[in-house]
Structure 1
């Protein structure tokens, strides 16, 4: 933790860090607990932590969180499905994927770091789970504010 002097006040940088991160919870019921991620324009990097509160293993009820342009969603999802379970249902080195967590099972967590500078405010962005059949329910929008 660093401290900075701002307008005569000594502030901890951790106060700013909290607006540049979010925790999303998932479960054995194929859900994310949030449908929107709001990212402040002031963030250089944005950290997403995905937590799986379920009990089932990742090969049965695995989840990840993948961030892409909305226009790339179908293509990335199809390639991820073809990549299969050994790759965590994500095509290796897919340049359309802006950030992603690993595939996790019950009781696990995964993190993704998004480079906010790569986002264009005129584009639409989404997050979703690439595990087979999950995308229909497990997806949401990214808002840049």
Structure 2
């Protein structure tokens, strides 16, 4: 009986979180083209390809989740990634970014350094960590979007995270180059 109550509470909480995380407004903000970055979630990205460029859309929400945990792109292609912060909270309290890490980067160590060296109110990727980054967006607040372009790295599996303080533990994924 106790387990049934716990499961019911979890199911209700999941429904409430899902209904609270939707936002239909978006402001377009552009970030300068940079190196790798991606965010994880429970779905695989289905990138569209236009004239040799692979278009990837990634959403981040106030519940600290990406809508995709896996993004697949072909090797040798240009990637145009657009991150949408579909939540409503400000960048200072619930900012999100996409950071594509070089293969072999220790995600936990990177995230810890980003927290130590990141500075409020923007919490951008610290300059000292850029050698470990393929591409990244700037940090966004609710309703903002940013688009970056970068060359897909060599074939392999790379990690992507949100480097905002405390987010990488939940906001991470795999960027797979085939």
TM-score by length of 1: 0.78
Aligned to 1:25: 59
Q: Establish whether residue 79 from structure 1 lines up as the match of residue 87 from structure 2.
A: no
Gaps of 5+ in 1: 1-13
Distance in 1 of aligned mates of 2:103 and 2:154: 12
2:172 to 118, 135, 139: 139
Structure 1 residues 93-125: Cα deviation after superposition (integer angstroms, max 9, x where no partner): 611110000000100011222222xx232x431
Moved more, 83-92 or 27-36: 83-92
- Contact 2:115 2:166 (C-alpha < 8 Å) held by counterparts: no
Aligned residues, how many? 128
Structure 1 residues 18-37: Cα deviation after superposition (integer angstroms, max 9, x where no partner): 86120101111111000111
Shift in CA distance, 134/18, structure 1 to aligned 2, threshold 3 Å:
farther
TM-score by length of 2: 0.65
Shift in CA distance, 18/109, structure 1 to aligned 2, threshold 3 Å:
farther
Q: Establish whether residue 48 from structure 1 lines up as the match of residue 84 from structure 2.
A: no
Query: Residue 60 of structure 1 aligns to a residue in which SS?
Result: helix
Structure 1 residues 116-140: Cα deviation after superposition (integer angstroms, max 9, x where no partner): 2xx232x431110011111111000
Shift in CA distance, 49/15, structure 1 to aligned 2, threshold 3 Å:
closer
